[in-house]
Amino acid sequence: MEIIAVADLKVGMFVAEPDCPWTALPFAFQGFVVDSCEQVDIFQQQCRFVSIDRSRSLNEHYAPPRLERDAPLKGGLPIRTNPAEDAGQAGIFSSAEIERRKVRRRRFLDFLHSQDDNEQARQLSHELAYVEPRYDQLTDALEQAFDTFAEGKNVDLLAVREGLHDIAGSLQRNPDAVMWLLRLKQRDEYSFDHAMDVAVNMVLVGTHIGWRDQRLLDLGLTGLLQDVGKVELPVDLLRKKTELTAEERLLVRSHVASSMEILVAQSSLSSDVVLAVGRHHERWDGTGYPRGLKFEQIGMAAEIAGIADSFCAMQKDKPYRSALGHQEALEELHSLRGRMFNPALMEQFVQCVGLYPIGTLLELSTGEVGVVIQQNRVQRSRPRVVVMLDGDKQPVRNYRVVDLREPAHASLRVSRALPYNAYGLAAHDYYLG
């Protein structure tokens, strides 16, 4: 962070913290890119100094983030550096599976390290090396928690909290690393994968709008646990491939009450988490359930949960339609702003998740197909891409990195975003090996 006098504040800068309380300012969100002279005037009238984040600022005010491994994170999320944690959880997997994961990770990290001319690539590879074992620990802890919930027993959520703490810290430092792992480490279990998707997206949005500390971690817990009541639903109902009957839809909706009943029994959970879980299917216009709440009655945490839940669900196969790609889901969700979703919060969500997040398959104007390995947070339509298929959609002999922001590639553009499995490319290919 960089502290500047408000006299030096400019449109395009990301204000992370003012020197006065946010409540003294007439803004809906805490932490955002200044986009008007009027906002600059308000800060200058109410504050003397502000902290700005160059890595989230735009145009000439942008600077790449620095990786400060030994420094505490802003908002009191220190980096845990216990060497024992880096060993992972070897007892859970077979030795062959552990070795396969190590080889796959090493090849991808080596590829990133080979790009010595790119500081962002080095930062991403360092963050991946740090966060991947912690990501694995969180997913294992969450799976164990789900199993215990299904048995009707109380759950010790300490390991889940610690894992979420690490993920939140990594998302603050370099969100691309966690988003990459999220796309690559699906376990082919809808409820479990969906919980991870929703939680990571919620923490990403919470960080984007300035939430920190316990408030941010509670937001992540809401995402992880919002559908835990589904453990009480019949497995056949959850796996049903055809359209649900009216009675079946009512039964599915009962998972909200079941989730709240389960979570109320967890004394370590705050009431804010339970309330947000109970309201994540409410909608801005009052058409949601179970209570038909609308507008500010819902609460911002539950609104974020509803947006993230819908966005992630759109990217999964449904009985009535195939999964949407990232861009298609974002466009459909955005079309519902002002009706089902808070329009101001929706704009922040769109800005946060971006057009082409890491792991997105793209077709370029040359006909070549590649995968995004870095977002361009200044020019969002011009990411950094690894070309995997040539113009005839045949596998390339050697991977080639194309940074669409570079002058040498000024004539190239993204033609369209593709579904994750387009042209037979599967998730394991995204490790470049």
Inter-CA distances, 347 with 62, 104, 220, 293, 331, Å = 21, 37, 20, 21, 11
One domain for residues 381 and 407: yes
> Residue 342 has what pLDDT?
94
* The total number of structural domains that make up the chain: 3
**Is 345 part of any domain?**
yes
For residues 322-333, one letter each, b for 16 or more C-beta atoms within 10 angstroms of the residue's C-beta and e for the rest, the string is eebbbbebbeeb
> Residue 48 has what pLDDT?
80
Torsion of Cα atoms, 112 then 113 then 116 then 121, to 10°: 40
Q: For the chain, which residues score pLDDT lower than 70?
A: 1, 28-30, 64-118, 186-190, 319-320, 377, 420-421, 426-433
**Is 215 part of any domain?**
yes
**pLDDT tens, 185-234?**
766 566 778 899 999 999 999 999 999 999 999 999 999 999 999 888 88
Length of the chain in residues, anyone?
A: 433
CB neighbours of 14 closer than 8 A, spacing ≥ 6?
31, 32, 33, 34, 52, 53, 54, 56, 57, 58, 61
Structural domain harbouring 34: 2-61
- Looking at 353, 369, 386, the residue that finishes a domain is 353
One domain for residues 144 and 206: yes
Torsion of Cα atoms, 204 then 207 then 212 then 213, to 10°: 20
- Looking at 319, 353, 387, the residue that finishes a domain is 353
Listed residue (150, 206, 183) closest to 361, CA to CA: 183
Q: Is the pTM of this model over 0.85?
A: no
DSSP annotation string for 369-416? EEEEEE--SSSTTS-EEEEEE-TTSPEEEEEEEEETTSGGGTT--EEE
Task: Number of helices (H) and strands (E) in the chain: give both, helices first.
Answer: 14, 9
Q: Indicate the SS3 state at residue 51.
A: strand
One domain for residues 165 and 220: yes
